Amino acid sequence: MGLVDILVSLALGALAGWIAGMIMGSKSGLLLNIILGLVGGIVGGWVLSLLKLSLPGILGSIIGAVIGACLVIFIVRLFKK
């Protein structure tokens, strides 16, 4: 994995984390959004594979990461209460 791949993954993770934060009403900072987006990408990919769904391309990756990041935010909120 090259430097460009890492930077693209971070940018997509930040975008997915920001979108998920907007959907879930989260007031997180940029770093937490990046982390949530990256973790969300892993979780979203896993969940979509369990459901036998495939979302091709960058847009599909962002959608999967947003779904996963929303799930991560939801789970974190469960443990915070």
Instruction: Give Cβ neighbours of residue 64 (< 8 Å, ≥ 6 apart).
Output: 41, 44, 45, 48, 55
Mean pLDDT for 24-40 is: 81
Confidence of residue 34 (pLDDT cuts 50, 70, 90): confident
pLDDT score for 13: 82
Tens digits of per-residue pLDDT, 44-70?
888 888 888 877 888 888 888 888 889
Domain count, the chain: 1
pTM: 0.82
How much is the pLDDT for 1?
A: 67
Supply 12's token pair. 């997509």
| Single-letter amino acid, residue 8 | V
- Taking alpha carbons only, the member of 68, 56, 52 closest to residue 19 is 68
Range of the domain at 70: 3-80
Which amino acid would we find at residue 21? G
**Dmax of the chain from CA atoms?**
40
